[in-house]
């Protein structure tokens, strides 16, 4: 019985998929990243890693280490490890997507987001920290809260009720429950067009973009949900409202923290939420910067294609973000799960993974110098400004 259990566990963790090649020859496909996807599961706990380092070292400077590793260490690892453009064989993708292992990883990540937030909030309020240490932990927790949106992003596209509810619980951590409605039915419909507040325009800094994107997506989400409910004969303010369902969880979670920790807990959560929202804004900014879908003779936008998203195959940051950076395939085929997302030839490519691109975006002159040149040099653009989504 023990050997059978060990064998089952080995199969679960190191599963192989038979693939038939020409002339009936059979080989096996192994997902080399299968165990490495655990990085996406445990990375959101890094606010607690910061606290642990502080308790070990005894100096508040230790609290900065996870932030430094995120914004500098991960880009360096992306550079060192390079890119992985390999794709799973298409014939085993249905079996790969049905593999429970990959879904379990996203489900397990959700409670870890709650542990990171609650643990960080309690520590900040109860520990004897300076303002510096206090703010660093709030920002670190906010960065982790932004990853909760990424976890929800992966599950929110799936049609199973369990995935949908896990997505709402994840979005409750940074109080961003309108994301799934807005993203699935707003952003994916209007992506890479001037009508989309979540698609950045050439010449638009990330800070200007944030002032347009955050309120614009909020308003669009509520408009979409109002229309959806009206079609079913329901009022906007009902328990069936999926935005309010997530907001209600946020109210219990963050309201409970405020009741337990008082006004310091409220200030912590304000900083946490704002920085978490800005992480989503950072991702949206780099994912479609300047890219534009064209209109046909009837004035309708063409179907979203892989070249309407910036792509990245950098190994480290993809392992930390459930393959979010293979964004070209995601937008062209939003139902595909993270483990089966593909790389395509001749798609716009970022020079670094998302963490490096975030850092570049925070310095607009550097961003424009690097990315405007890459945008204009794209094969489907070739310097034609009419083929670019740009600021007026």
pLDDT tens, residue by residue, 151-202:
999 999 998 999 999 999 999 999 999 999 999 999 999 999 999 999 999 9
Number of other CB atoms surrounding residue 217 within 10 Å: 24
CA distance 72 to 49: 17
Q: Where are the domains of the chain?
A: 39-387
pLDDT at residue 386 in the model = 92
CA distance 323 to 125: 35
pLDDT at residue 24 in the model = 63
Tell me the angle at which helices 354-361 and 263-287 cross, rounded to the nearest 10 degrees.
100
Strand runs labelled E in the chain: 17-20, 26-29
Tell me the angle at which helices 100-126 and 131-156 cross, rounded to the nearest 10 degrees.
160
CA distance 150 to 70: 16
Retrieve residue 131's tokens.
Answer: 């303002």
Are the CB atoms for 156 and 88 separated by under 8 Å? no
**How far from the centroid of its chain's Cα atoms is residue 188's Cα?**
15
0.75 surpassed by pTM:
yes
Place of tokens 């997507």: 97
Distances (CA, A) of 360 to 157, 178, 278: 29, 28, 15
Retrieve residue 189's tokens.
Answer: 């419909």
Are the CB atoms for 149 and 324 separated by under 8 Å? no
Partnered with residue 28 across adjacent β-strands are 18
Query: pLDDT digit of tens for each residue in the chain (392 aa)?
Result: 665 655 566 567 778 888 876 666 677 889 999 999 999 999 999 999 999 999 999 999 999 999 999 999 999 999 999 999 999 999 999 999 999 999 999 999 999 999 999 999 999 999 999 999 999 999 999 999 999 999 999 999 998 999 999 999 999 999 999 999 999 999 999 999 999 999 999 999 999 999 999 999 999 999 999 999 999 999 999 999 999 999 999 999 999 999 999 999 999 999 999 999 999 999 999 999 999 999 988 889 999 999 999 999 999 999 999 999 999 999 999 999 999 999 998 899 999 999 999 999 999 999 999 999 999 999 999 999 999 999 87
Cα three-residue angle 319-323-328, rounded to 5 degrees: 150
């Amino acid at each position: 019985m023990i050997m059978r259990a060990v064998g089952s566990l080995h199969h679960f963790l190191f599963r192989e998929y038979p693939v038939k090649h020409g002339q009936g020859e059979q080989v096996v496909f192994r997902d080399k990243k299968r165990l490495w996807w655990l990085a996406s599961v445990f990375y959101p706990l890094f606010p607690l890693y910061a606290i642990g380092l502080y308790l070990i070292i005894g100096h508040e400077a230790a609290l900065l280490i996870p932030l430094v590793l995120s914004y500098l260490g991960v880009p360096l690892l992306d550079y060192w490890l390079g890119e992985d453009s390999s794709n799973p064989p298409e014939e085993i993708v249905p079996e790969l997507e049905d593999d429970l292992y990959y879904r379990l990883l996203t489900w397990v990540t959700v409670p870890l987001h709650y542990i990171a937030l609650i643990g960080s909030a309690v520590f900040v309020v109860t520990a004897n920290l300076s303002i510096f240490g206090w703010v660093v932990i709030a920002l670190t927790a906010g960065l982790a809260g932004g990853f909760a949106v990424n976890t929800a992003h992966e599950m929110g596209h799936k049609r199973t009720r369990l995935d949908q509810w896990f997505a709402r619980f994840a979005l409750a951590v940074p109080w961003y429950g309108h994301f799934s409605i807005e993203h699935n039915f707003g952003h994916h419909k209007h992506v890479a067009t001037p009508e989309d507040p979540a698609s950045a325009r050439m010449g638009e800094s990330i800070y200007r973009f944030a002032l347009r994107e955050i309120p614009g997506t909020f308003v669009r989400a509520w408009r979409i949900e109002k229309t959806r409910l009206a079609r079913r004969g329901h009022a906007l303010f009902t328990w069936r409202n999926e935005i309010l369902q997530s907001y209600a969880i946020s109210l219990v979670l963050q309201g409970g923290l405020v009741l337990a920790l008082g006004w310091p807990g409220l200030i912590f959560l304000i900083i946490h939420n704002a920085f978490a929202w800005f992480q989503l804004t950072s991702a949206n900014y780099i994912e479609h910067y300047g890219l534009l879908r064209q209109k046909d003779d009837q004035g309708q936008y063409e179907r979203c294609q892989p070249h309407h998203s910036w792509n990245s195959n950098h190994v480290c940051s993809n392992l930390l973000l459930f393959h979010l950076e293979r964004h070209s395939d995601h937008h062209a085929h939003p139902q595909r799960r993270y483990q089966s997302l593909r790389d395509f030839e001749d798609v716009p490519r970022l020079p670094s993974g998302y963490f490096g691109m975030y850092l570049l975006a925070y310095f607009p002159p550097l961003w424009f110098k690097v990315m405007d040149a890459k945008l204009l040099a794209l094969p489907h653009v070739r310097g034609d400004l009419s083929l670019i989504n740009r600021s007026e």
